[in-house]
A and B are shown apart, each in its own frame.
Chain A
Amino acid sequence: MGIEKIIFYVFAALSVYGALMVITVRNPVKAALYLVFTFFASAGVWILLEAEFLAIVLVLVYVGAVMVLFLFVVMMLDINLAQLRAGFVRYLPVGVAVAVAFAVMLIMLVGGDWFGGFAPPPPSPAEVSNTRELGRLLYTVYVYPFEIAAVILLVAIVAAIALTLRRRSGVKYQTPGQQIAVRRQDRIRMIDMPSEERK
């Protein structure tokens, strides 16, 4: 067993452990942190596959941005843990039964034996740039799916704005544009008053 395999099993075990913890720990903040942990482990596996760029992107985007945002949200929401747990025990037996049945079938059907069809690709020489290759593929062979993905992101933006942006009546807003563009005559009025006699 080469060193690579050992590293692989270590990272694989870590990511499985992390994933399990995500769904079992009680505290959602901890769950989110375990998810971060899982991502790290997965990134490790990807590096073994020579997918360095993807591994780094995974860490940067998911861990650095998405999960941090996620943590903010979880912390800002006032989640009632007791309520979340209410049905857990009651449904546990059914859930476990289903999970076990599922796992058994997965093991019966999916195993190393079935995936021997292809020889592993030859390791690429060190000077090949992973990032450049990915970019080349994305903008040539996969340009069409890539563009669609871009559209999907656009839709996500539109949808998010459409669903959250609203103007409530009765709420006071600051409008910086107006504040900046304000002129003297908007704010003060000069009145010419004749002086009055003191009585």
Chain B
Amino acid sequence: MSADDIKLIGIAIVLAPLVGAALAGLFGAYLGRKGSHWVTILGVAIAFGLSAVLFKAIVFDGAETFNGPVYTWLATEGIRFEVGFLIDRLTVMMMVVVTFVSLMVHIYTIGYMHDDPGYTRFFSYISLFTFSMLMLVMANNFMQLFFGWEAVGLVSYLLIGFWYKRPTAIYANLKAFLVNRVGDFGFLLGIAAVLMVFGSLDYATVFERAPAVVGQYFTILEGHEWEVLTVICLLLFVGAMGKSAQVPLHVWLPDSMEGPTPISALIHAATMVTAGIFMVARMSPLFELSETALSTVLVIGATTAFFMGLLGLVQNDIKRVIAYSTLSQLGYMTVALGVSAYAAGIFHLMTHAFFKALLFLGAGSVIVALHHEQDMRKMGGLYRYMPVTWITFLIGNLALIGTPGFAGFYSKDSIIEAVAESHIWGAGYAYLAVVAGVFVTALYSFRLYFLVFHGKERMDEHTRAHLHETPPVITVPLILLAIPSVVIGALYVGDMVFGNWFGSAIVVAEAHDVLGELAREFHGPLAMATHALSTLPFWLAVAGVATAWFLYLKRPDIPDRLARRLAWLYRLLTEKYYFDRFNEVVFAGGARAIGDFLWRLGDRLLIDGLVVNGSAKLVGFSAAVLRHLQTGYLYHYAFAMILGLLALLGYFVLWTPQG
């Protein structure tokens, strides 16, 4: 396939969802519900089909990596602002994952949002999201990356607040918006630093020039020198922390569950939140040059992986448990990035996208069946009523906790092995965190599973009477997602993680190449699975499942007793380590206090009083005076012209020296 073909297909992939979104958004009223969902599903299906074509071309047929501009938006002072595509193996993998999950979610939405008045609006948004996400992953320059970054953020904001009449939804989307602002601020500074240091926004140019700036320093404060690359990487990572919800910028993700469930699956589990991971992997040529940055990434990822998992133990809202699980898994991916196991991180991103979307959609199926009840304390014993949801959910859970053979096992185990292999600063702490995290993951996952599908039926009579399996538009996507959740790991672990599958898309320095070390001990997926039976993480996972079984099926009274006995710990967890409280008091409160002060002094007195109203009065006054010049008398007009002539002539006679 020639470069031109790839470019054309790339354009079609991006535009198909955009057209769908525009049609559904602008003409939703004319198209109706059916029309809107068909047009958007068609758009995304085209994008998925063409992505698959590109995947085949790049991965199997060995087509060249495409890197080139599509449209030059603006060229100024030697810097070109372009829309361009970089289509290599990393990109096509992301494209396939994004469009596939998006397609599933589109279909699923037909059932989930069936009775919602904002039906067409919803379809328009999720198609717009797909467009934005594709722009993000296909970018070949920082500007387009930033565009996609902000666009997915915008759609996320719109969708969290989709039910805009609920105060909690508005609160949640405001929170997501503000927290992401912090991350984006760092990100933007990072991009600015890139532009300043490298004089270009093009990936290829920047990566090419990067080794040359090793050892250069910024002096930001007098006497303090900062290594240029470290500063850039850390700033970019701040952006990733916001988007991928790493501690301490994670607080928005659990609240984002206020949005409709398909969104939680698509945006807040499978795709958008992984944008940070993707971005860091894409920037691997930069991060590899700064060990400080890598260690920071590692420690933050490890902290997120373990501590956010713990919080999942005390939640009662089914979606929030999965949300904390997402946070924890994002932590795992970040850890992988920190130890330079980018391929493992991306691989986990892919498997996670499938099984986490599956879990969310399964949870959504339960929620629909129970008439939008999300409290797990009012569920139980559902396996009798909803066999498809039950089985697929179990598959998702097994993949999540890393049962050997399932997709999650290969990706997660690779990460844990990679951490064990790494020697950079913080690796020891990270290893502890990720291994302990395995137990926690198994515990909260199966707590959720047992509470929802087994045990006593705790819903009220009316609900129970109407319980039945959800319609095919919901169950078919579940089944379609369950398949990759099982098989994709075994199929691709050899190539993607250990086989240098990504080629030049990911750069790893010789000294950090932990996956290269591991590859020597890798003897195929089957051997990896059997070997795992004798390792610590596997038994920790088994212990987690057993504990869950004991606590929530066998002796359901124990958890309450524990909560009372360890009240301080329980409180610490239910208060989410007091992050929210801290933010509310210090940042929000402090900002309000400063704002209030400035408003009194600056806004009301100086700006409103003097500048705004003052200048408005001045303009209004002069307009009132000047309009009398336009008298309407012809001879006045003619006279004005003569005066103008006279003035200009006078200017020449009196002021301009003449030869």
Contact = CB atoms under 8 A, between A and B. Distances in A.
B642 A105 contact: no
Contacts, number: 20
A contact residues, range: under 10
B643 A98 contact: yes
A102 interface: yes
15 contacts: A91-B635, A94-B639, A98-B639, A98-B642, A98-B643, A101-B650, A102-B642, A102-B646, A102-B649, A105-B646, A105-B649, A105-B653, A109-B649, A109-B652, A109-B653
Q: Which 8 A-B pairs have the closest CB atoms?
A: A105-B649, A105-B653, A108-B653, A101-B646, A98-B642, A102-B646, A98-B646, A109-B653
Interface in A131-161: none
Interface of B: 635, 639, 642-643, 646, 649-650, 652-653
A2 B649 CA distance: 36
Nearest to A94: B639
Contacts of B653: 105, 108-109
Nearest to B643: A98
A139 B322 CA distance: 90
Interface string A86-130: 010001001000100110010011000000000000000000000
A87 B639 CA distance: 14
Interface of A: 87, 91, 94, 98, 101-102, 105, 108-109
Contacts of A94: 639
B640 to A, nearest CB: 11
A96 to B, nearest CB: 13
Contact of A105 (B639, B643, B650): B650
Contacts of A91: 635
A105 B649 CA distance: 8
A147 B259 CA distance: 73
Contacts of A105: 646, 649-650, 653
A91 B650 CA distance: 22
Contacts of B635: 87, 91
A105 B650 CA distance: 8
B267 to A, nearest CB: 65
Nearest to A104: B653
A98 B645 CA distance: 11
Nearest to A106: B649
A31 B653 CA distance: 34
A102 B650 CA distance: 9
Contacts of B650: 101, 105
Contacts of A101: 646, 650
A172 B625 CA distance: 53
Given A98-B639, A98-B643, A101-B646, 13 more contacts: A91-B635, A94-B639, A98-B646, A101-B650, A102-B642, A102-B646, A102-B649, A105-B646, A105-B649, A105-B650, A105-B653, A108-B653, A109-B653
A21 to B, nearest CB: 21
A94 B642 CA distance: 12
Contacts of B652: 109
Nearest to A87: B635
Nearest to A99: B642
Contacts of B649: 102, 105, 109
Contacts of B643: 98
A101 B642 CA distance: 11
A102 B646 CA distance: 7
